[in-house]
Amino acid sequence: MRISGRTFILSGGSSGLGLATLQDLFHGGAFIALLDIIPAPTSWLEQPESSPSSTTTTAKAEFTRRVLYIKTDISKLAEIENAVEKAVSWTKETGAPLGGILNIAGLGKREQLIDRRGKLHRVESWNYTLDVNLSGTFHLSRLGVKHLSEVEPDGEDGERGVILMVASEAAFDGQPATVAYAASKGALLSMTLPMARDVAHFGIRVVTVAPGPFTTPLTGLFPDRVTEAILKNGVLFPRRYGYPREFAETIRWVLECGYVNGETIRLTGGGRVPAKL
What is the set of domains in the chain, with CATH numbers?
7-262 (3.40.50.720)
Give residue 162's pLDDT: 98
Give residue 230's pLDDT: 82
Q: In the annotation, is 241 catalytic? A: no
Q: Is 143 helix (H, G, I), strand (E, B) or coil?
A: helix
Name the active-site residue from 181, 241, 243, 259. Answer: 181
List, in order, residues 6 or more apart from 28 with CB less than 8 Å away: 3, 4, 252
**Which residues of the chain carry a pLDDT beneath 70?**
48-54, 275, 277
List, in order, residues 6 or more apart from 177 with CB less than 8 Å away: 110, 111, 112
Q: Is 74 helix (H, G, I), strand (E, B) or coil?
A: coil
pLDDT digits (tens, 9 = 90+) for 154-174: 999 999 999 999 999 999 999
Q: What is the pTM of this model?
A: 0.94
Per DSSP, helices labelled H in the chain are 16-27, 56-66, 77-94, 123-130, 136-148, 179-199, 224-233, 244-256
Give residue 225's pLDDT: 83
Q: At 241, give phi and psi (nearest 5°).
A: -70, 150
Distance, C-alpha 53 to centroid of its chain: 28
Nearest to 259 by CA among 188, 162, 165: 162
Give residue 175's pLDDT: 87
Give residue 233's pLDDT: 81
